[in-house]
Structure 1
Amino acid sequence: MREQDVWAWDVWGAARPGRKETNTAGAVTWFNWTQWPDHGPDEKILGDLSGMPVLDLGCGSGGNLAHLVARGADAVGVDVSPVQVAKARERWPHLDVRQQPAEEFLATSSAEFAAVCSVFGAAWFTDPAELLPLVRASLRPGGIYAFSHNPPALSGCYGPQASQMQPPEKGAEPLYVKRWDYEPGRWTEILRQAGFTDVTAEVIPPPEGRRTGTLLVRGVRAG
């Protein structure tokens, strides 16, 4: 991963507001697959988490990771941004958060996980040809891989795209990272080809008054 990519994620992380102290239901931890607070499915997508080893790729400031741990998972979070990792450790000192590129962690870790998740994280910003074999190798047979991000912004514009991040300094040049955009059907094919079964891919409709839904993909490691 390029140094500029790390800087871009630090810029993005520094500009993001922290997660609220509680959600609308009054819970201090909660899981959001979508970009809309308190909307869409929760951690049950990942199956029974109690005592299970779970990996959050691109965990950001740790909100979803904290909820996995609160639900009894033996969870690890990985994020490339030192700013985001520092936020996670400050708010939830008990979390196991690693500052490392997702593909580097997967390639060097000997851990085996029951579930791997990525919410607007590494699954969107890493070439699936590189990431999916590493994810599959890190999952136990029958383990679940699930990720979410925005649907493709432009019809017919698929594959690697440029994602712009604007530094807060006036007049600063924008920073760019790559993301990988595919329609649900194509994601289904990609996961099946990578050794996943029971693959589902759908766009969760946005809440009333919003225009952009959330793509949610889930697969089970075969064999």
Structure 2
Amino acid sequence: MPHAPMTPAEYWDKYKPYNGEGTQPPPQAHRFDWTQYPGHGPGAEVLGHPLRALELGPAEGKEAAHLARHGVEVTGVDFSSTQVERARAWWKDTPGLSFVHDEACAYLTSASTTPYDAIYSVWGAVWFTDPEDLFPCVLKRLAPGSVFAFSQAEPVVGSYGPQQMRGKWLEGRERELTVLRWQYAPETWVGILERHGFTDIDARVLKAPEPGNLGTLLVRAHSPSTSSDAE
């Protein structure tokens, strides 16, 4: 009898499995990294000086923990209950840091109306959510003039829009699921963000420290400073 298809939540529950002995140690949170290469590229300064920040798809929660240790009130929202439980266990003693189990758009459109000074995603939910659905939700939850920033793998030329991806951690399993990730050239991201009302947009590819390795797309935008800016 065939196995039931794996749900998206189950897919992310299996992200970065731990195969070592004993309790899995938390990652180092001494720096905020946008790229997959520790210590390479810009850090938390991309977000400015937020008092309250929201991370979409934090997984391990390293960047959220780094910000919280520097006095920012941070909420991390992740689709995977497994990732949320792990992050809560690792960073339970970090003041000003909380993790919520929810889907990004659902959380952004929830009852709470308190705005954020920064909303960001590090190779996280922005990569795996249709921007036509997500970006309007993000804009509504940002305080005027605040930052929206995200990073992901640099796009493959000619492979734009929603692209299928299979997680390496699922290879050999009977129940697999293909998820979609959205990738565009930097100038296309600028156009999408402008169309949804964002301003002062910068989108670029950060080259890898070693030639020939995969680079990182980094995008930074702002919500309008006043209501008139959006007209």
Would the TM-score normalized by the shorter structure come out above 0.5? yes
Determine helix, strand or coil for the equivalent of 2:210. Answer: coil
Q: Say which is worse superposed, 71-80 or 203-212, in terms of deviation.
A: 203-212
Matched residue, 2:219: 217
Determine helix, strand or coil for the equivalent of 2:114. Answer: coil
Determine helix, strand or coil for the equivalent of 2:54. Answer: strand
Query: Aligned pair in 2 of structure 1 residues 64, 19: CA closer, same or farther (>3 Å)?
Result: farther
- Supply the distance in 2 between the matched residues of 1:7 and 1:165 (Cα, whole angstroms): 12
Counterpart code for 1:147: F
Deviation at 1:21, TM superposition (A): 5.2
- Identity score, percent: 38
Counterpart code for 2:52: P
Matched residue, 2:153: 150
Determine helix, strand or coil for the equivalent of 1:67. Answer: helix
- Supply the distance in 1 between the matched residues of 2:170 and 2:56 (Cα, whole angstroms): 26
Deviation at 1:97, TM superposition (A): 0.3
Deviation by residue 1:33-57 (Cα, 9 ceiling, x = unmatched):
00111111000000013xx110001
- Supply the distance in 1 between the matched residues of 2:215 and 2:124 (Cα, whole angstroms): 16
Give the conservation status (yes or no) of the 8 Å contact 1:11–1:165. no
**TM-score between both structures, scaled by the size of structure 1:** 0.89
Matched residue, 2:11: 8
Deviation at 1:86, TM superposition (A): 1.4
Deviation at 1:174, TM superposition (A): 3.2
Query: Aligned pair in 2 of structure 1 residues 140, 148: CA closer, same or farther (>3 Å)?
Result: same
Give the conservation status (yes or no) of the 8 Å contact 1:79–1:85. yes
Determine helix, strand or coil for the equivalent of 2:178. Answer: strand
How many residue pairs get matched?
Answer: 214
After TM superposition, the structure 1 = structure 2 runs for residues 1-223 of structure 1, keeping only pairs within 5 Å, are 4-14=7-17, 22=28, 28-49=29-50, 52-93=51-92, 94=94, 95-108=97-110, 109-153=112-156, 155-168=157-170, 170-208=172-210, 211-222=213-224, 223=226
**TM-score between both structures, scaled by the size of structure 2:** 0.86
Deviation by residue 1:138-171 (Cα, 9 ceiling, x = unmatched):
0011010000001113x21111111112455745
- Supply the distance in 2 between the matched residues of 1:35 and 1:19 (Cα, whole angstroms): 19
Determine helix, strand or coil for the equivalent of 1:12. Answer: coil
Question: Structure 1 regions of 5+ residues with no counterpart?
Answer: 23-27
- Supply the distance in 2 between the matched residues of 1:21 and 1:159 (Cα, whole angstroms): 32
Query: Aligned pair in 2 of structure 1 residues 61, 79: CA closer, same or farther (>3 Å)?
Result: same
- Supply the distance in 1 between the matched residues of 2:42 and 2:147 (Cα, whole angstroms): 16
Deviation at 1:117, TM superposition (A): 0.5
Deviation at 1:15, TM superposition (A): 5.2
Counterpart code for 1:34: T
Deviation at 1:83, TM superposition (A): 1.5
- Supply the distance in 1 between the matched residues of 2:147 and 2:163 (Cα, whole angstroms): 27
Query: Aligned pair in 2 of structure 1 residues 78, 171: CA closer, same or farther (>3 Å)?
Result: closer
Counterpart code for 1:220: H
- Supply the distance in 2 between the matched residues of 1:206 and 1:21 (Cα, whole angstroms): 21
Query: Aligned pair in 2 of structure 1 residues 122, 168: CA closer, same or farther (>3 Å)?
Result: closer
- Supply the distance in 1 between the matched residues of 2:168 and 2:153 (Cα, whole angstroms): 19
Query: Aligned pair in 2 of structure 1 residues 210, 38: CA closer, same or farther (>3 Å)?
Result: farther
Query: Aligned pair in 2 of structure 1 residues 102, 210: CA closer, same or farther (>3 Å)?
Result: same
Give the conservation status (yes or no) of the 8 Å contact 2:55–2:75. yes
